């Protein structure tokens, strides 16, 4: 197509200039040939112009297609980046705040608000109660051990209430 375009352009220029320069304007046959060559030159130039216009339009369409494909790819990449970022953020929130996550999970698990609230509170309070009960039982065991060793009541109370100073009182 490009070759045809260039050939038509070159032939139009040649058919325009060459007969006018080479042929005599006084002879009738030469004049007729000049007219024919000028007409042919116009035809060649118009044909070449049409071909070039079609080619330019095709190039524009190809450029638009390439732009559309590029925009699609960019959109897909940005979407995947956004999704992965959201997933990572959710994972980080789950790791950093398990209590809140538990609350949310429990709130979602139980349907009724009136029923779910006390149960959630109970489930959340269970670890705290267990921890306090464990501490009390350990303290009672410690008191019994100290009584067996013959420690005084006041000393035991002071010892159990201030565990950091325990070692100092023994000495």
Partner 1 sequence: MRAMYLANYFLSRCIAFSLLEWVASLHPIAFRAVLCLLAAIAIARGLSWLLDFSLSKLLKISVADLQALLIGGFAMLLIGLGVFLCT
Positions touching partner 1 (CB under 8 A) are 5, 8-9, 12-13, 16-17, 20-21, 25, 31, 34-35, 38-39, 41-42, 45-46, 48-49, 52-53, 55-56, 59
Cβ closest to partner 1, residue 14 vs residue 83: 14
Cβ closest to partner 1, residue 21 vs residue 154: 21
The least distance separating partner 1 from the CB of residue 65, rounded to whole angstroms, comes to: 17
- Tokens representing 107 are 């709130």
Cβ closest to partner 1, residue 54 vs residue 126: 54
Determine contact, residues 8/51, Cβ cutoff 8 Å: yes
Cβ closest to partner 1, residue 37 vs residue 159: 37
The least distance separating partner 1 from the CB of residue 13, rounded to whole angstroms, comes to: 7
Determine contact, residues 19/34, Cβ cutoff 8 Å: yes
The least distance separating partner 1 from the CB of residue 40, rounded to whole angstroms, comes to: 10
* Rounded distance between C-alpha atoms, residue 3 and residue 32, angstroms: 30
Determine contact, residues 80/41, Cβ cutoff 8 Å: no
The least distance separating partner 1 from the CB of residue 58, rounded to whole angstroms, comes to: 9
- Tokens representing 157 are 């109370």
- Residue linked to tokens 């990449």: 77
């Amino acid at each position: 197509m490009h070759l045809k375009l260039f050939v038509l352009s070159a032939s139009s220029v040649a058919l325009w200039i060459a007969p006018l320069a080479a042929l005599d304007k006084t002879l009738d046959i030469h004049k007729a040939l000049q007219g024919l060559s000028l007409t042919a030159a116009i035809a060649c130039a118009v044909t070449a112009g049409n071909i070039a216009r079609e080619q330019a339009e095709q190039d524009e369409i190809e450029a638009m297609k390439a732009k559309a494909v590029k925009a699609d790819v960019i959109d897909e990449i940005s979407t995947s980046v956004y999704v992965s970022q959201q997933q990572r953020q959710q994972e980080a929130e789950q790791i950093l705040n398990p209590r809140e996550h538990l609350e949310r999970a429990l709130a979602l698990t139980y349907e009724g608000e009136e029923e779910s609230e006390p149960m959630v509170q109970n489930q959340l309070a269970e670890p705290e109660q267990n921890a306090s009960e464990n501490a009390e039982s350990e303290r009672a065991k410690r008191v019994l051990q100290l009584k067996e060793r013959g420690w005084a009541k006041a000393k035991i109370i002071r010892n159990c209430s201030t565990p950091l100073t325990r070692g100092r009182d023994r000495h």
